[in-house]
Amino acid sequence: MFALFENPRLRGGIHAEEHKSDTSPLSIVTNFPTPKKLYIPVQQHVGKPAEPVVKVGEKVLKGQLLAYSQGTISAPVHAPTSGVIADVKDFPAPHPSALPIRTVVIESDGKEQWADLIVPEDPFQLEPEEICQRVGAAGVVGLGGAVFPSAVKLSLGRKNKIHTLLINAGECEPYLTCDDRLMQERAEQIVAGIRLMLRGMDAPKALVGIEDNKPEAFTAMQVASQSFSNIVVAQVPTRYPMGWDRQMLRYLTGQEIPADGRATDIGVVVHNVATAFAVYQAICLGQPLISRVVTVSGAAVAKPRNVEVPIGTLMSEVLGFCGLEKSKMARLVMGGPMMGDALPIAEVPVVKACNGILALSAADIDEPPVQPCIRCSSCVTACPVGLLPLEMASRIKANQLDSAVDLGLKDCISCGSCSYVCPSNIPLVHYFKFASGELVKRQQAEHKAEQTKRLVEDRNNRMERARLEAEAEAQRAQEARVARLAAAQQAQSAPAEETV
């Protein structure tokens, strides 16, 4: 056992309206009908996209590999059902741009026939390296939204001598309750996943942080972990954005991650609670990550609930299953309302990063008119990073991006706390997202300019080498001509000398 930090420091944050009561009491729906077609993007993770290994017309089984990972920072994708590969094409991505990305389309045969699964006799006796290898092969990524390949974090944990695995079960975003229900209903499997992650990292202990507005989940996790003294389940205050890993870590351990560092720098690795369940499935059941629990909610949804759906299911089908009232929907959001992405269309697939589908009404997103700042400093108090939101926004409005960066723009996590508490309704977080996008564009332009400069220099170097080689060749040719003329003259003069 180990003690929690006695006097934790809780910086900033807000008490947002939860909107969780519609879905938190209801069991996860597991009988979602398999769609006729599934659209599985090959890029559902941080890093390089997976490369398809299937061809159009090929029959596939549930759990079969569709695309393999390319390099260390990548993850494979698998078939969520059995059927036939109908196409490998570009299809709109679940992103605000809805730009097309490479997608494998499966036409379901309705049989749900599994591929052969490899299940170890005793998963907890596997070597750490094999646990990491199996997690990677199963396509498990961070299901809290980061979608970083989990096997890489487990391997890094072993190499960096991690002393604590922190399981983030905060789920602080309004509306979202999928992790809450997962803990209530599958706590034993989650704890098994945590034990496997500890073994995979060679770490001695784990700490699970759950917000205190989830008493049933907290109790279920405590009961499931009571036999394991190296797993501590703790409650944290219900205060957005407690789900931010730095906030959770600071509260539970009293440690601070360096500004330009990572949790591994202080001996901690953070994983989401749903990721722990996916690790259990990958190791104990041999099943790759092909489905996930999604919260479907919002005023335009007649039957809000948590639904376990196959990866690749169109969001429009999930919303239809939950009774979407299209006339009421004013905005569609993937994820939570604070940090989620507003989508232009619902005909995009559910991916590994999707933990919520919100169909919000006009009343849900009512935005009062912007008024002048009253200098109340509420935004400063609410910022969990300790920034000066108004000062940064002023610099951005004046197009002084470098000055905004000096004030900490790159440290902003776009949680929206500042905008939420602003009595003047100034959309501060919009400024920061705009500025971050402009910085990315600037970096891309600088990178492109550097590439162009390098290409021009390479071209000039090639032309110079070609010129020097041509001059050298011309010199050699001239010398050869001179030599031939000399030889010819010598040959002509030789008989004359013999005659004399």
Q: Residues comprising the binding site?
A: 373, 376, 379, 383, 412, 415, 418, 422
Give the start-end residues of each E strand in 159-267: 164-169, 205-211, 231-236
Q: Which tokens is 181 given?
A: 């229900």
What is each CA distance from 283 to 67, 257, 395, in whole angstroms? 20, 31, 50
Give residue 335's identity as a one-letter amino acid code.
G
Residues at the binding site for [4Fe-4S] cluster are 373, 376, 379, 383, 412, 415, 418, 422
- Phi and psi angles of residue 108, each rounded to the nearest 5 degrees, phi first: -70, 145
**Burial category of 466 from C-beta neighbours within 10 Å (exposed 0-12, middle 13-18, buried 19 and up):** exposed
Do 202 and 158 touch, CB atoms closer than 8 A? yes
**Angstrom distance (rounded) from CA 416 to CA 414:** 5
Q: Which tokens is 486 given?
A: 């000399």
Q: Which tokens is 321 given?
A: 């299953």
> Which candidate, 337, 446, 433, 440, places its Cα nearest to that of 392?
433
Dihedral angle computed from the Cα positions of residues 438, 444, 450 and 452, in that order, rounded to the nearest 10 degrees: -120
Q: Which tokens is 235 given?
A: 């409650």
Residue 50 per-residue DSSP state? P
Q: Which tokens is 121 given?
A: 């006799």
Give the start-end residues of each E strand in 122-242: 164-169, 205-211, 231-236
Do 213 and 179 touch, CB atoms closer than 8 A? no
Do 60 and 88 touch, CB atoms closer than 8 A? no
- For the chain, how many helices (H) and strands (E)? 12, 16
